[in-house]
């Protein structure tokens, strides 16, 4: 029975990024609302009544083959097997396994799309997807195999095979055959009916899960980059003028103004800002922080708009309109909207990391009264020399990862699918960029906090001192050379988990 703490998927209520973040953080149980149940049932009933009424009218994927085989008629007695064959034949994923938190998000997003009531599936099929989600019984899905065109066919086949008692799942840390895992709850394998295999496989939920996941982490990186950049500026002896509101009113990009305002707030009350500034201008990595961070902020705002639209879309094919007595075959499964914004997300996040590495470099350069490589007795000690090498290598890799996947297309299915989005590749490399920038900002934080130590007893602002104190509980000041990789790993973890605001 539903409880007061459950979240009910409701077609008339949109899923937003903030709502998804709350659901994932609270680990809330997700159920179907009465509105969703009614829509699913109405569409399923309509489809089967139509098939009885017009048994010989071809409907793609229901009484025909798939892809280039769309003109092959399938007799009524073989249509259930057609759907099972579809799932089995399309489970061709390779490469690394999709991380569990992303598989769980795929289950939720697939259930959400089907709950909108235009896919013709059984109510129990959608409910079973939510059963897997709520029990954290996670299908084993592989990262490679999708062209992002007829949706994410191979990943979604692996996601949905366990509904039939096929494939593998992970449950409570164990990898199990799906049939064995389902027996723990006395779940019987589903019998797929007309169109259900197609509805489960067609869709963008692999790309979309990555987009949601990366965007949530990228929003955290935006906040972290402003805070760490402000700390680096203050420790470097940077000037406040580039953040003056009057400058940004003359070039009123929303993100630029927001980034400048945030740095002004973060520096309020800093003793260091009251000290003389011998340099007339700062390097671009400090002076142009509002413009670069702001451009990434604006880019991610657009990405969020597209991702939220996709979260509330029907992306399988064909699409059923019971009220109009119509079934339409179209291309809503094509991943181009997500492919483009995933490439855009990767580039926007990579630029945060690119600027961060330059600030790290400046802090280590022995300028403005700071010792070379931010360590006493440089020469005997290398200090933070080599973390900048690491950062430079990561920035270079990000440049390679930012080559747009969406610019590519390879013909498939005997020419029937003659343009594909490659959005799945955009998705997996966007996640790698996000992870890389978490490490880059961690290295900058390590460096900026170290530089601040050489400014003592002067203090930065109360807001930034609070961040430094929290960081110092994890990573101590570098008095002399020590093994540094644990510090770098801890710094990246701090960036990922600290409550940036």
Smallest CA-to-CA distance from 205 within 82, 122, 119 is with 119
Calculate the alpha carbon distances from 344 to 218, 220, 452 in Å: 12, 17, 34
Q: Which letter does DSSP use for residue 352 in this model?
A: H
21 CB contacts (<8 Å, ≥6 apart)? 216
Distance CA 499, CA 220 (A): 9
User: Considering 60, 171, 210, 284, which one is annotated as catalytic?
Assistant: 60
List the structure tokens of 29.
Answer: 């149980």
User: Active site includes 498?
Assistant: no
256-261: which pairs have CB atoms within 8 A and are 24 or more residues apart? Answer: 256/290, 256/291, 256/294, 256/295, 256/297, 256/298, 257/290, 257/294, 258/294, 258/297, 259/226, 259/289, 259/290, 259/293, 259/294, 259/297, 260/290, 260/294
Distance CA 412, CA 420 (A): 8
Q: By the 8 A CB rule, do 472 and 449 touch? A: yes
Helix (H) or strand (E) holding 89, with range, is helix 79-90
Q: By CB neighbour count within 10 A (0-12 exposed, 13-18 middle, 19+ buried), where does 99 fall?
A: middle
Q: By the 8 A CB rule, do 231 and 464 touch? A: yes
Active site residues: 60
């Amino acid at each position: 029975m539903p409880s007061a703490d459950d979240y009910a998927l409701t077609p008339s209520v949109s899923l937003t990024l903030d709502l998804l973040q709350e659901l994932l953080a609270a680990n809330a149980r997700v159920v179907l609302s009465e509105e969703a149940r009614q829509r699913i049932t109405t569409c399923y009933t309509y489809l089967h009544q139509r098939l009885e009424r017009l048994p010989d009218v071809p409907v793609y994927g229901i009484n025909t083959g798939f892809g280039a085989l769309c003109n092959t008629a399938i007799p009524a007695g073989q249509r259930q097997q057609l759907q099972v064959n579809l799932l089995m034949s399309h489970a061709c994923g390779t490469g690394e396994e999709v991380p569990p938190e992303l598989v769980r998000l795929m289950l939720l997003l697939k259930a959400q799309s089907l709950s909108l009531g235009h896919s013709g599936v059984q109510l129990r099929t959608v409910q079973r997807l939510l059963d897997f989600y709520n029990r954290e019984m996670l299908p084993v899905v592989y990262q490679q195999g999708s062209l992002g065109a007829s949706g994410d066919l191979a990943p979604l086949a692996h996601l949905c095979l366990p509904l039939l008692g096929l494939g593998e799942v992970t449950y409570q840390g164990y990898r199990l055959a799906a049939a064995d895992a389902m027996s723990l709850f006395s779940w019987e394998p589903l019998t797929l009916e007309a169109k259900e295999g197609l509805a489960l496989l067609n869709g963008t939920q692999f790309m979309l899960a990555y987009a949601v996941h990366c965007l949530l982490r990228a929003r955290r990186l935006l906040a972290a980059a402003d805070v760490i950049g402000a700390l680096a500026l203050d420790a470097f002896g940077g000037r406040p003028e580039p953040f003056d509101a009057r400058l940004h009113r003359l070039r009123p990009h929303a993100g630029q103004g927001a980034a400048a305002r945030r740095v002004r707030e973060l520096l309020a009350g800093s003793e260091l800002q009251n000290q003389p500034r011998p340099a007339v201008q700062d390097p671009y990595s400090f002076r142009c922080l509002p413009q670069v961070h702001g451009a990434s902020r604006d880019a991610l705002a657009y990405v969020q708009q597209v991702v939220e639209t996709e979260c509330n879309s029907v992306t399988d094919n064909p699409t059923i309109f019971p009220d109009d007595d119509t079934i339409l075959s179209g291309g809503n499964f094509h991943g181009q909207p997500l492919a483009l914004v995933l490439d855009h997300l990767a580039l926007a996040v990579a630029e945060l990391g690119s600027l961060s590495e330059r600030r790290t470099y400046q802090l280590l350069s022995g300028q403005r009264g700071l010792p070379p490589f931010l360590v006493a007795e440089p020469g005997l000690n290398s200090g933070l020399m080599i973390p900048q090498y690491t950062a430079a290598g990561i920035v270079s890799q990000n440049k390679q990862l930012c080559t747009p996947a969406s610019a590519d297309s390879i013909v498939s299915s005997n020419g029937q699918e003659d343009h594909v989005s490659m959005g799945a590749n955009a998705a997996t490399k966007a996640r790698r960029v996000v992870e890389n920038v978490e490490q880059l900002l961690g290295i900058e934080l390590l460096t900026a906090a170290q530089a601040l130590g050489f400014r003592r007893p002067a203090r930065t602002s109360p807001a930034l001192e609070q961040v430094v104190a929290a960081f110092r509980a994890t990573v101590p000041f570098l008095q002399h050379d020590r093994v540094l990789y644990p510090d770098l790993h801890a710094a990246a973890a701090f960036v990922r988990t600290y409550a940036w605001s």
